[in-house]
Structure 1
């Protein structure tokens, strides 16, 4: 009878990392593509002041913006949102505050805008149900 010699293989204790690298590269590409889309707001030249920033643990605020032309915007997640009328802005803010009344409301106004526009917007937001309205600034340099 013929005898077959079998070679015993030792188990390999290495991890194949190639699939993990592939997954990481795909995730990196996804994040690189989506990161510019996440920024929100309207280009506004904010006044500078030394103020305390919002807590990182707080809810994302509702940001009502006024640009230098006096047009109203609401932060919706798109870079170039369309201008809104004052009544539309008040309706959207009131609806969001009914869903979550603890959401902070912030006014983001261009530094060259007349003070009257800011006061009108703050009054409008308080009528829409905002318990308090904050003002957004840039830190002093």
Structure 2
């Protein structure tokens, strides 16, 4: 029985991390992100903002300029019940005497209907700039 003693060879423990599976997972995730990233930015839905800010107290009523979706402009002067329809040249002519009377304290609220293209708002802003109006506020709900 002296020959019956067997010594088993002990295996050494590996102290290394096998990173091959982690690299495979990383490459699969990279491919997934590369494929889906361009698809996420194709369309953007934009809703006009609303604000919870408080209105500033003012002694004077503001002038309201409205940009309609079809390109028309509306002007509601202090004391008017309903806005009147004007074009850019008439807007400039009607705002000139008010600007001369009120000076730089003249406030203008620029409103755009919810379905109006942004270009209509820019056109109204250009018309106000030609009328030399500097205090313009965008009106939100």
Same fold, judged at TM 0.5 (above) = yes
Specify the structure having the higher radius of gyration (Cα). Answer: 2
- Displacement over 6 Å in runs of 4+: none
Partner of 2:112: 109
Which structure 1 residue ranges, 5 or more long, are not aligned? Answer: 1-45
* 2:91 match: secondary structure: helix
Q: Output the CA distance in 2 between the equivalents of 1:110 and 1:130.
A: 21
Greater relative CO, 1 or 2 (CA 8 Å, sep 6+): 1
Superposition TM-score, scaled by structure 1 size: 0.57
- Whether the aligned pair in 1 keeps the contact of 2:64 and 2:110 (CA below 8 Å) is yes
Partner of 1:136: 139
The Cα of 1:125 is off from its aligned counterpart by 0.6
| CA-to-aligned-CA distance 1:59-103 (integer Å, 9 cap, x gap) | 211111122333211103122x44111100111112211111211
Q: Output the CA distance in 2 between the equivalents of 1:94 and 1:51.
A: 32
Which structure 2 residue ranges, 5 or more long, are not aligned? Answer: 1-46
Q: Output the CA distance in 2 between the equivalents of 1:62 and 1:135.
A: 12
